[in-house]
Amino acid sequence: MAEGDGSGKNRPRLALHVPEPKYRPGDVADFSHLDIPPAGKQKRPDEACAAADTNPLCTDLIRVLGDDDQAHGPWDPRLSADKMRAILRDMALVRIFDERMYRGQRQGKTSFYMKCIGEEATSVAAAHALAFDDMVFPSYRQQGVLMVRDYPLIEMINQIYSNKADKLKGRQLPIMYSSREHSFFSISGNLATQYPQAVGWAMASAMQGDSRIAATWMGEGSTAEGDFHSALTFAAVYNAPTIFNVVNNQWAISSFSGFAGAERTTFAARAIGYGIAGLRVDGNDALAVYAAQLWAADRARSNDGPTLIEFFTYRAEGHSTSDDPSAYRSAQEQNEWPLGDPITRLKNHLIAIGEWSDEQHDAMDKELDEKVRAATKEAEKNGILGHGLHHPFKTMFEDVFEELPWHLKEQSEQAIRERELKWPK
Amino acid sequence: MAEVNKAEAAVEDETATAPGERRINMIQAINEALDIMLDRDPDVMVMGEDVGYFGGVFRATAGLQEKYGRTRVFDTPISECGIIGVAVGMGAYGLRPVPEIQFADYIYPGLDQLVSEAARLRYRSAAEYIAPMTVRAPFGGGIFGGQTHSQSPEAIFAHVSGMKTVVPSTPYDAKGLLIAAIEDNDPVIFFEPKRIYNGPFDGYYDRPAKPWKSHAQSVVPEGYYRIPLGEARLVREGEALTVLAYGTMVHVVESVCREKGVDADILDLRTLVPLDIEAIEKSVKKTGKCMVVHEATKTAGFGAELAALVQERCFYHLEAPVQRVTGFDTPYPHSLEWAFFPGPIRIGDAIDTIMSE
C-alpha cells in the first residue's frame, strides 16, 4: 500500500464507485424512475440540420405510438397500412423463428442460438427504412434485417444447423450469417469490429461517388470497445454516410448498462462529442424506429453526415442459449418494462385505426409458424449438427487464402487420412 | 523457384551505372510501386498517419496525394484500429486499400481488426467477402529506435492463418513484392526494414553507412513488374551451410559470410507466409547445415518455425543442430542496441560452432 508523507491526511477518503443494477433476483422490479416522455412531444429537426441541433434529442426519447395506440407528433412517418402490416409481419416472423430455433437448440439440433425477443423493431423497422442495397454491418441480434430482405429461412436454418447445405460450410457458429447478395455483412464474434468497417464501406461508397450508405448495429455494452471510438472519429472526420445504431437493451450478458457508462449519460449523447447527429428513440416503437432510421438515411444520402441512434429497449430473454438471466436480474423486469412489447404496440395501433384485428393477427401467426416449421423440416433434410451431414473435410482448408498453399495442402491430406483411419471403408 | 539473380555477380561498392541503368533506394522503390498501382488500378488507395500532404514520415508516399488527389491518398486520425478497420470495410466494398502503420511497433491497436477480421473474412464468409489489403509498416531495429521504433513482430502475423507476411531486403524486391502484395486478394502485412531504406547494412554500425547505389539490387526497372509472393531469393550460392534470413539480416549475414570466407548458401525468404519450403529443403539437403537469422526475439520467433520445419523435413541430411541467431528475449533496448542486435560477432560465433560440428 502506497503511503504519502502524511501531509494529506486531512483530506477526505476517496471511494471507488462500482455500478450495481437496481434489481437482482428476487427483487420487485419498478421502472417508475425512468423518465418516459409522452409520445409526439419531440421536435423533428430538418435532416440537413447542424449535428449540434440534435443535442436535445440525445437525452430525450423520440416516441410516436402513445398509450392510446395512436400515432403522434412530427416523427410519425405516416406509413400506409400495408407498410405497417409488412413491418408487423416481419417482426412476428422474427419472434416465431427465434422460438423455433431456441427449441431446436434445446433439442440438440444445434449448439447455440441467440434470440432478439423484445428488440424486433430495432432491426425490422430500421431495415424497412433503408434501401435494399444499403450495406448493413450487423451484430448478432439483427436477424430481422435478413427477414426484411427476404433472405430464405431455409438458408438461415442450414447455417444454424451447420449442415451440408450451409453456405458458410459449417465454419461459423450458428447465427453468424453472411449474405453479400442481401448487402448483409459477415457477422463476427468479436464485438464492435463492424463499426469501423461500416465507416470504411461508407467512405468507399463516397470515394466512388456511389449513392449507397452503410448502417451498422451494436449493443450498448459494445460501445465500451475502442472500435466504437475509432469508428465515430473516422465517420466525423470524413463525413462518412453511416448510420450507427446502438441497441440499448439494458444488459450485456450479466452486466447492466451502467458498466457501459449509462449511469452518467445516454448512449445517444456520445454523438455530441464527436460532432455527429444523435437521436434517442423508443426502441419498442416500430414507427419511431422507422422514422429515426429514415431521417438518418436521408441525412447520410444527402452528404449531411453520419448519425448515431440509440434505441432504448429491453432484452426480454437471456443473452443466448448458454445464459440464464434469472441468476443476475429480477425475473419481473421483463413484465415491468415501461415501453411494452414492440409487436403488441404496432398490432394495437393497426387495430385502433381499423386496419387489423386479433383474428387476422392470430391467422398471420399461424401462417408464419407453419412457414417456419416447413423451412425447418426442409433444412433438417440437409442434416443437423453432429449427425454426419456436413461439408467434406477438405473444405475446412479452403478459403483461408484465395489459393491453397503447400502447408494447408499437406494438412488437408492429413485430415483425410485421419478420416479413413476413423471410418475404414 | 529461387534463382540466383544475375546482377548479383556485380561487385559491391561499384557505383558505376551501366547505360540505361537506374539506381534507387528502397523508399523510392516503394514510392514507385504505390505510384504504379495507383495509376493502374482505380480501386487502389493509400491512407495512414501523415501519408497525405506531407508524404509520410519516411517519404514513402511523397508526391502521391498531389498526383492522385485527396480521395485516393489521404491522412487519417491517429488510430490504428480505425485505419485497419476502415480498410477492411473498404475491401468489402471492392476497393484495394494500402494502409500504412507508421511503425510496426504501433500495429497492436489494429491487431484485433487484422487477426479477427481481415485474416478471417474470406474464410468465415465462404469467400463472399474478402480483405484485399496491404498493410505497410516500417519494421526492425538498428537505428537507435529504442523499444517502440525497432520491433520485429513478424512471428505474431505468421502465426495467424489467412494472412500473408512479406519482408523485402532490396529496392528491387521491395518494388516487385509490393506490387504483387497489392494485387494479391489476401491480406498482406508488408514489413519494410527501415534500417535499409537508404542503404544496405552490414552490421558494422561504427563504419560509414553505404548507400543503395553501390548495391546491385538497387537497379530497378521504371515500369511495372512483380515478384511472386512465396518465393525465396538465392542471395548467394554455396555448399558449406544454408543460411535462412530476411530483411536487414540478409545483408549482415552476407557480409559476415564473405568476411569469414564461408561458402554459404544464403536464402532471403522474402515471404514468410506462404513460405518457399522447396527452396529451403533443396538448400539444406545440399549443405547439411542450417542457420536461421532474425532480429526478432528468440522464443517462439519465426526462427523456431523454420528450425522445426528443417528438422522435420531434412533430418537425415543434417550434420549439425540447426542454429538460431536472433535478438535476445528482452524488449528492444536503446543504449545497448548493439549488444542486442544480432550482429557480426553473434553470427560469426554461430558459424564457427556450426562449421566445427
pLDDT band at B29 (very low <50, low <70, confident <90, very high): very high
Mean pLDDT to the nearest integer, B97-112: 98
Chain B residues touching A172 at Cβ < 8 A: 124
CA distances from A340 to A97, A123, A127, A351 (A): 21, 17, 21, 17
Q: Are B269 and B246 in contact (CB under 8 A)?
A: yes
Distance CA A174, CA A141 (A): 12
Q: What is the pLDDT of residue B13?
A: 47
Q: What is the pLDDT of residue A119?
A: 98
Q: What is the pLDDT of residue A103?
A: 96
Cross-strand partners of A71: A65
The alpha carbon dihedral of A163, A166, A171, A177 has a sign of negative
β-sheet with A242-248: strand ranges across: A135-137, A214-219, A242-248, A307-312, A277-282
Residue for grid cell 452518467 = A264
Residue B159, C-beta contacts closer than 8 angstroms, at least 6 positions apart: none
Q: For the segment B208-259, what is each residue's pLDDT rounded down to a tens digit?
A: 999 999 999 999 999 999 999 999 999 999 999 999 999 999 999 999 999 9
Lowest mean pLDDT among A147-151, A335-339, B124-128, B276-280: A335-339
pLDDT band at A9 (very low <50, low <70, confident <90, very high): confident
* Nearest CA-CA distance, residue B119 and chain A, Å: 8
Tell me the one-letter amino acid at B240.
A
Q: For the segment B158-198, what is each residue's pLDDT rounded down to a tens digit?
A: 999 999 999 999 999 999 999 999 999 999 999 999 999 99
Of residues B97, B101, B85, B100, the one with CA closest to residue B38? B97
Chain A residues touching B108 at Cβ < 8 A: none
Residue B152 has pLDDT above 80, yes or no: yes
* Nearest CA-CA distance, residue A292 and chain B, Å: 24
Residue of A nearest to B164 (CA): A401
**So what's the architecture of A51-380 in CATH?**
3-Layer(aba) Sandwich (3.40)
Distance CA B201, CA B338 (A): 13
**93-122 in chain B: CB under 8 A from chain A:** 93-95, 97, 109, 112-113, 116-117, 120-122
* Nearest CA-CA distance, residue B290 and chain A, Å: 21
Residue A240, C-beta contacts closer than 8 angstroms, at least 6 positions apart: A199, A202, A203, A206, A214, A234, A305, A306
Query: Within 13 A of B34's CA, how many CA atoms are on the CB side?
Result: 33
Q: What is the pLDDT of residue A3?
A: 60
Chain B residues touching A168 at Cβ < 8 A: 124-126
**382-411 in chain A: CB under 8 A from chain B:** 399-402, 405-407
**Which one from B149, B215, B251, B294 is the annotated catalytic residue?**
B149
Residue A310, C-beta contacts closer than 8 angstroms, at least 6 positions apart: A58, A220, A246, A248, A266, A267, A268, A278, A279, A280, A281
DSSP character for A65?
B
pLDDT band at B15 (very low <50, low <70, confident <90, very high): low
**So what's the architecture of B21-196 in CATH?**
3-Layer(aba) Sandwich (3.40)
Lowest mean pLDDT among A365-379, A411-425, B58-72, B122-136: A411-425
Cross-strand partners of B100: B48, B136
Residue A281 has pLDDT above 60, yes or no: yes
pLDDT band at A390 (very low <50, low <70, confident <90, very high): confident
Question: Which residue intervals of chain A bear CATH 3.40.50.970?
Answer: 51-380
Q: What is the pLDDT of residue B8?
A: 43
CA distances from A139 to A37, A220, A281, B138 (A): 29, 11, 19, 34
Q: What is the pLDDT of residue B3?
A: 42
Query: In the structure grid, which three cell numbers stand for residue B2, read together?
Result: 529461387
Mean pLDDT of chain A: 96
Q: What is the pLDDT of residue B35?
A: 98
Distance CA A348, CA A363 (A): 16
Residue of A nearest to B113 (CA): A193
Distance CA A420, CA A271 (A): 57
Q: Are B99 and B135 in contact (CB under 8 A)?
A: yes
Q: What is the pLDDT of residue B18?
A: 78
Task: Verify whether residue B149 is a known catalytic residue.
Answer: yes
* Nearest CA-CA distance, residue A198 and chain B, Å: 6
What percent of chain B is predicted at pLDDT more than 70?
Answer: 95
**So what's the architecture of B230-355 in CATH?**
3-Layer(aba) Sandwich (3.40)
Residue of B nearest to A238 (CA): B76
Q: Are B293 and B243 in contact (CB under 8 A)?
A: yes
Q: Are B61 and B34 in contact (CB under 8 A)?
A: yes
Residue B150, C-beta contacts closer than 8 angstroms, at least 6 positions apart: B105, B140, B141, B142, B143, B332, B337
Q: Which H or E element spans position B340?
A: helix B337-340
Residue A11 has pLDDT above 60, yes or no: yes
Mean pLDDT of chain B: 95
Question: Which residue intervals of chain B bear CATH 3.40.50.920?
Answer: 230-355
Query: Helices then strands (H, E): number in chain B?
Result: 12, 12
Q: What is the pLDDT of residue A8?
A: 72
Cβ-nearest to B85 among A189, A230, A399:
A230
Query: In the structure grid, which three cell numbers stand for residue A54, read together?
Result: 440534435
Say yes or no for a CB contact (<8 Å) between A230 and B81.
yes
Question: Which residue intervals of chain B bear CATH 3.40.50.970?
Answer: 21-196
Mean pLDDT to the nearest integer, A232-258: 98
Q: What angle do CA B24, B26, B32 make, to 5 degrees?
A: 75
State yes or no: ipTM above 0.90. yes
pTM of this structure? 0.96
Residue B355 has pLDDT above 70, yes or no: yes
